[in-house]
Amino acid sequence: MTTTPDTPETTAIAARPDSSAAVLYVCAERGRLTPTLAARRAEEEGREFATMRKLRLVEVVSDAFGEPDPCHRDGWMRVRELVAEGKVGTVIVRWPAAISPDASHEMRHREIRWLQDQGVEVRYSWAPLAAGGEVK
C-alpha cells in the first residue's frame, strides 16, 4: 500500500509490469493562433518515440495546461491509477514541464520519485531529452 503527500487515498501497488507497456501523457500549453498544435505535436512525437523504442501504448492521457500541481489534474491522476494498477511500466512525456512547470519543479520531482518508487520509468519524447533515456 502507498499514500502520496497530496492524495490521502491508499492504493495497492501491483508487481512491476513489463516496462514495454507505456502510457503517453500529453499536457501542452494552448497557442493563441493554433490552440491544438502543441498537444497534437506532443502526441505525434510521443507515439513515434514509443514505436521507435518498441513500447506498447496502453493509453494516451491528456490534460489542459495550467494547473501546476499534477495531483490536481484528472489526466495525471489517471496516469497514477494506471501505475498503481500495474498496467504500465513506462510513462512518456514530452518534457519535464509537462508534469509540472519549472516554477513548481518540486512537484515534478515528487511525482517522478513516486513513479520510480513504483518501478516505473519516466521517458521524455522531445529529441534533445530522448537520448538521455530514463530520468534519474
Q: Considering only CA atoms, which of 39, 45, 19 is closest in space to residue 122? A: 19
* Element at 107 (helix H, strand E): helix 105-117
Tens digit of each residue's pLDDT (9 = 90 or more) over 45-84: 999 999 999 999 999 999 988 889 999 999 999 999 999 9
Cell of 48: 513515434
What pLDDT does 124 receive? 97
For residue 59, which phi and psi values (nearest 5 degrees)?
-165, 150
Tens digit of each residue's pLDDT (9 = 90 or more) over 10-23: 445 546 678 899 99
What pLDDT does 65 receive? 83
Cα R_g (the chain), whole angstroms: 14
Tens digit of each residue's pLDDT (9 = 90 or more) over 76-106: 999 999 999 999 999 999 989 999 988 889 9
- Above pLDDT 90, what percent of the chain? 63
What pLDDT does 103 receive? 86
The residues facing 14 across adjacent strands are none
